[in-house]
Every structure is written in structure tokens, then in C-alpha cells.
Amino acid sequence: MKILVIGSGGREHAICWKIKQSKLVDTIYCAPGNEGIGQIAECVPIVPGSHEYIQRLIYFATTNRIDLTVVGSEAPLADGIVDHFRKANLKIFGPSRDAAIVEASKVFAKRFMSRNSIPTARFQVFKDAQSAVEYVRDVQMPVVIKADGLAAGKGVIICSRIEEAIAAINNIMVERIFDEAGSQIIIEECLIGEEVSVLAFTDGEHAVQMLSAQDHKRIFDHDKGPNTGGMGAYAPYPGFTPQLYDLIQKDILEPTIWGLREEGRRYVGVIYLGLMLTSSGPKLLEYNIRFGDPECQAILPLLETDLVEIMLACMESRLNELTIRWKHSSALCVVLASGGYPTSYKKNLPITGLDEAEKIKDAIIFHAGTGITDDKIVTAGGRVINVVACGDNIPQTKKLAYDAVSLINFEAVHYRKDIGDRAIEAARVK
């Protein structure tokens, strides 16, 4: 098979890396890819969001006889790439535009949760800043303020004081820091508990959960500072019991898949549940319409079953016929980011130590925001390198990962040093 992967980050590098292990696959292309992906796939210079990029991808897939296209990031899915490919009789893995709305619009998602009795935080929707400001003056703090549309993982702001909430409202709705994504906002109660990511494969009828993971969204250690696209993750989450699996399946995942199907939004692909494990049970924070980033980088190294076989089973409505197997081990991902991320940062800074880090046993280096200048690998984004380690337990994987991290350097490199500490502390308490 010839496979085309769409995207350019660490998630797409992990997807290409896993697809390369499939016995079904001969050739992998990635559009646009990055320098790390270019070592295992042929990169194609078609950038999502560029002029008529979907039609250019369709032309490439047709002329190169691509057997399956895999969409890594959310923006092409929200733009309806799956619908366009299907009209061109091209196989593609991911939800249609109608189904992708669960991430493309947080307002739709919250109202969908409400009408399908899916446990979530109490919320209100606002279309103008003045009404939102008046509301936060009277509501109990803290609150969570969310931009409605896609904001690259940065559109959620937790506010502990009224002044912070007013500033967030003005930034989103008046200053439009997230452009049209901030045309309306959600203000919801701030749930207390452990945040866990649960991803699942689905064929629109059946859904199978992957190993659980825990993301680290804040920029600094101990969950300080603003949200980012994700600074690290580990899998599986140590407190994830069979009882919790069943509860999420029954109360959240199946009502989601069935509810979308009933609305004519049959969902095929990977669906991501951002959950808060509260004292009254798991509650749904948000949906994503694809592999999480960086959860994907921690989860896929633990997958034993052929990823391409799973994708084909989803697309052919036979997921229930497949047994998905996982390794009985742990994985941990540390994100190396540019200094200044998630706001402004320098680019084209030389990266050293990648070859040395890759020599560490059970460590994997996934490129995220990298480029090449004068035959040297350089920084080209906010999140630059993902260092992943696999081992028997989280303490072991953390040591391996940070041993590899210590070998990689570029000017003003920033990374969290506490990835996995929650899991280690939880195990110690037990």
C-alpha cells in the first residue's frame, strides 16, 4: 500500500513511524512533513491551509495512486477534507466535516453533550463581550473560558479571579487573539480532579478505547503558566481501572458515537475525550477529532496491533471483528519547545545532540517543529522535538526520556522537568 499522511508535527512523525512498521505498507508520503519525517517518508510540499490545498492533495493522491490517506491535524478535518476525498473516490481515515464539528465548535460540542446526557461541566454561551463580563462579575470563581473555534490547543483559559476572567473575555472577543474562533465563547464551571485523555478508534457503530494518557498542557512545571498545545504526556494513566473504562464507555463514549449517528453525523476515525476525573465520576471537558498531541507520541509506541489494519477496519465497519492488543509497559513523552513559546519565539536555531539521543536504548525522537538550513537541522516552530521513552514503569521511562533530553540542545530550549511526577507520586501513595 501507498499511504499519505497529512500534517507536519510530532504527532504525524509518530503516525508515520508506526505506519512504517505495517506489513501492508510499501511507501509513505507526508504533506508537508518535517525533517524527522523525511527520514522515513517522502515529504510533499503541500501545506494545509494554503490556497486550494485540498484539491492539490487530491491531485497528488490520484496521480500517485495513494491507497489510504491519514489526516493528523484538526484543521483539514474541520475544512471537510474527508468529504472532498470521498467524492474523488479516495480512501481517507478521519471524520467527515459534519462529525468534525465536535471539535471545530466547542459551543456545538457542549450543547451536544447536554442533549445526550453526557456528564460535563455547567456552562453558558456568550456572543458579546459585555454580557460575558456581566456574567463573570456574579458567578463563583474559578471559571474556565473557552473560545468556540479552533485555537491550536490554546483557546482554553482558567481564571481564578474576576479580573483574569474579564481580561480573557476581552482578549478573545474584543482583541480577537484567536481570530474568528473567538466570535463566541463558553464560560463554564472549573471542575476539580485529575485530567485524563482517553482516545478511541471508532467505525461509527463501535468504539474501542486506546490506553489512557495524561497530558501536561501548562508551559511551566507544576502546571503553572498559560496553556500550550501540550508539553508532555505519559501512558497509561496509573489510576485507570477496568471499572473506569466501563464507566467511560457506557456514559460518555457510546452516547457520543450513537448520538452523532442519530444526528446523521456518523463518526469514523479517532475520537479524543478530554476528561476530568471528579469526586462524582468522570466528566467530559472536550472532544478532539484526531490523535492528541503529544498523547499520540506516548500511546502509539505501546500499540502491538498493526495501525493500518485498525484504520481499515474502522473504514470498513468491522472494528468489532478486530482484537486490538497493547504492550504491558509504559511510555513517556517530553516536549522540547522554543524559548518564548506559546507566544513569540525565534526560529532557525541549530539543534545539536539528536544523533546521540537516538542512540539511547528504548528512546525515540519525534520531530515536531524542525527545518533545515545549510544542511543543519534547525528550529521551525514552537514545539520543536518530542523525546519518547518506553519501559516497564513510569519512573524508568522518565529517567530514560530525560537522559535523552539532556543530550539535545538549541538556544533558549525550554521543557518541563516534571513530566510523569504525578504518576510516580500516585504510585508512592498507594
Say whether pLDDT at 153 is over 80: no
Residue 92 pLDDT greater than 90, yes or no: yes
Give the range among 25-29, 179-183, 285-289 with minimum mean pLDDT: 179-183
CA dist 282 and 193 (Å) reads 9
Reply yes or no on whether the pLDDT at 429 is more than 70: no
At 227 the pLDDT is 87
- Report pLDDT for 430: 57
Q: What b/e string do you get for 290-329 counting C-beta neighbours within 10 Å, with b at 16 or more?
A: bbbbbbbbbbbbbbeebbbebbbbbbeeebeebebeeeeb
- Average pLDDT, stretch 26-31? 98
For residue 368, pLDDT over 80 is answered with yes
What's the rounded mean pLDDT across residues 272-282? 96
Residue with cell 481499515: 312
Percent of the chain with pLDDT over 70: 99
Q: Where are the beta strands (DSSP E) in 72-193?
A: 92-93, 123-126, 143-147, 156-159, 185-189
Say how far apart CA 195 and CA 183 lie, in whole Å. 27
Per-residue pLDDT tens for 213-259?
Answer: 999 999 999 999 988 999 999 999 998 999 999 999 999 999 999 99
pLDDT of residue 48: 84
Please tell me the predicted confidence (pLDDT) of residue 88. Answer: 97
- The counts of H helices and E strands in the chain are 15, 22
- Alpha helices by DSSP H, listed for 92-232, are 97-104, 106-115, 129-138, 162-169
| Cβ-contact 173, 128 below 8 angstroms | yes
Sign of CA dihedral 196, 392, 324, 91: positive
- First and final C-alpha spacing in the chain: 47
- In this predicted structure, what is the pLDDT of residue 296? 98
State the pLDDT confidence band at 15, using cuts at 50, 70 and 90.
Answer: very high
Report, as an integer, the average pLDDT of 14-21: 98
Q: What residues contact 410, with CB distance under 8 A and at least 6 apart? A: 336, 338, 349, 350, 351, 352, 378, 379, 384
Q: Do the beta carbons of residue 411 and residue 390 sit within 8 Å?
A: no
| Chain-centre distance for alpha carbon 174 | 28
pLDDT of residue 158: 92
Query: For the segment 396-427, what is each residue's pLDDT rounded down to a tens digit?
Result: 999 999 999 999 999 999 999 999 998 888 77
Q: Between helices 254-262 and 106-115, what is the axis angle to 10°?
A: 100
Q: What's the rounded Cα separation, in Å, for the pair 262 and 24?
A: 34
Mean pLDDT of 98-105: 96
* Domains, the chain: 2-97 (3.40.50.20), 122-189 (3.30.1490.20), 192-430 (3.30.470.20)
Tell me whether strands 194-202 and 269-278 are parallel, antiparallel or unpaired: antiparallel
Q: What is the mean pLDDT of the chain?
A: 95
In the structure grid, which three cell numbers stand for residue 344, read together? Answer: 513569540
Arithmetic mean of pLDDT, 140-165: 91
Q: CA-CA distance, 401 to 120, in Å (whole number)? A: 34
Residue 50 has pLDDT above 80, yes or no: no
Say if CB 135 and CB 188 are below 8 A apart: no
